[in-house]
Every structure is written in C-alpha cells, then in structure tokens.
Amino acid sequence: MRKLRKPYTGVRRRRSADRAGDGAARAGWRASRAGRLTLMRASQLEHLPWAVHGFSTRSGGLSLLGEERVLNLGWAEWDTREAVEANRAAFLRGLGGGRMWLVTLEQCHSDVMYLVDSPRAHELRGDALVTRTPGLLLAVQSADCVPILLADARHRAVAAVHAGWRGTLARIAEKTLGRMRMEFDTRAEDVVAALGPAIGGCCYEVGPEVAQAFAAQFPEAREWFEGPFDRLAGGDDPAPFPWLSMTPPGHEEPAPRVRLDLRAANRRQLESAGVPAAQIAANALCTACRTDLLFSHRGERGRTGRMMAVIGIRA
C-alpha cells in the first residue's frame, strides 16, 4: 500500500503567474492580465459570444493580508468592506461585466439552488444559482472547494455552482443540471462546463467518515480516493481494543486518512448526467499547492481570502 503524502505545511511553492497561465492554456484555459489582476477563463466558454465568465485569483487587489495586497472578494473579519467592494468592482471591470448585476450566495455546503430572474438586494443562502436573464452575473466563492460554471449553448442559460465535499456528496452539480432541464428545457449534450481551481487530490486529506459517506452514495467512489479507501470505507476500526495497546494515553497513532479528488468526483457527476466529456474543462491548479496565485483555506490554515467564479448573459 502506497503511503500518503505528508499534509501540506503551508509553505508556498513559488512560480510566476505567467507560468501558471501557460499551463492553464495548454489544458484549455487562458490566463490574462486586467490591470494588476490575473484572471482565468475556460476556452470552451469563451467560444460562446453571448456569455461573460471568469475565475479570479489572489493577484492584485486592495485587501491587506499580512504584508501582501490581494484580491479578496469575500467578506472576512480581517478585511474591510470598502476594500472588498473595490476589489469586486475591479474584478467585474476586468471581466467586461462592470455594468452587470452581481448575484451572490451565503454558501452553506448544501444542495440548495435558486432560479434568479432579477437583481437581489440580499444574499441568498445556498450553493447554486441558475438564470436565463441577461444582465445578471451569477457568482460563487471558493478557497479550496470546486467552483463550477455551466452554460446551455442552445437555450442561453447559465449556472454557477459551489461544490465542497458535502455538496459533491449531495450531487449538487447533477441536481443543478436537473433544475436547468426543468426550467429551460436544457439538454445535457448542449451544456459546456468549467471546473475552476480547487484543492487537488494531492493535498485534500479526509477521514473515515467522508470515505464511508462517498462509498455509500457512489459505486465508483474508489476511483476518486488515494490511500486505504477500502479499509476506511468498510468501517474497519484500526484499533478496536485500544485498552489492550501499550501506547500511553494521548500518544495513540492518528487514524488513517485518504486523499479525495473533488474535481474528479464532480466531473464524473456531470458525465453521468449526460454532459459530453469533451465539453467539460477542468482546471488542474491545486489551491493548496499554489498559494502564490490562489487562496487556500487549508494551505493557509484558515486565514485567507475568497476567490470568485462568475458567469452571466450579456445584456
């Protein structure tokens, strides 16, 4: 059995944003500069002239995180409202959506979604948004979870999805496609999908409870995990009689863990729902590995910002 890699320590692996852009382009992604900002776009979504979309990075911005100026797009205790609002405005200008209305969510790791047909004054509590109304920019925030953008090329409908492990377990990407089918008569074969930067299987360690939950929901779950998945998913207790151990209390070996590839799990959900594999673009950047370019809740031990993925229909 291959040993798990050591947990990520938070030490940054320095590479340039330009090099990240080169790698993204080779994988069907394009990184571009907008003033001080570095933005990412999926080539397949760029082929839809009526759609506006983009993924932010941490580059640029007015928020002060430690000694670094960053593009934080989420409300945080360490940041000011003025800085976040200025960052959001700069991000939308960089995308070419400065005159569009941003619709956001109070995300809660659920499978709750909303049909949006007009600007909202207050944030909605859930993890996915769908619309066919021009002039709206649907947004989800992330700092390790998978941001997913969907576009129905035939009916000009779009969706933004936030998928952490709980949302992935609840099949939020698949359910969002179902909502688009119900509301807009969307066919999966007409959908183009982009999965943005997220924590990779290289760094995302989870415990037995996650392995067991995925094993109960997905017959193919083993494909998304690395490590002793069968042992953990089967519910085997590594130490069923701890009182027989000679190890002093408080010095027990930690429970075994596995690594989960959330992007692979969400990609499989989309494919199983009928989206052609060739129409799904998954960004390969790991947020925990690339804290020089991206925010990572795990990689930065909780003190970090939030990136944003947005998609909308030109007015």
Q: CATH code for 17-204+276-313?
A: 3.60.140.10
Give the chain's radius of gyration (CA, Å): 20
Q: How many CA atoms lie within 13 A of 281 on its CB side?
A: 25
For the chain, residues classed under CATH 3.60.140.10 are 17-204+276-313
Residue 13 is predicted with a pLDDT of: 41
- pLDDT, one tens digit per residue, over 53-83 is 999 999 999 999 999 999 999 999 999 999 9
Query: Listing from the earlier edge strand, what are the strands of the sheet with 37-42?
Result: 29-34, 37-42, 51-56, 307-313, 136-142, 101-103
Cα separation of 268 and 254, whole Å?
31
pTM: 0.88
Secondary structure letter of residue 145 according to DSSP: S
Amino acid present at 119: P
Q: Which residues of the chain have pLDDT under 50?
A: 1-18, 20-22, 25
Please, is 124 exposed, middle or buried when counting C-beta atoms within 10 Å of its C-beta (0-12, 13-18, 19+)? middle
Cα separation of 68 and 76, whole Å?
15
DSSP 37-66: EEEEEEHHHHT-TTEEEEEE-SSS-SEEET
Beta-ladder partners of 308:
141
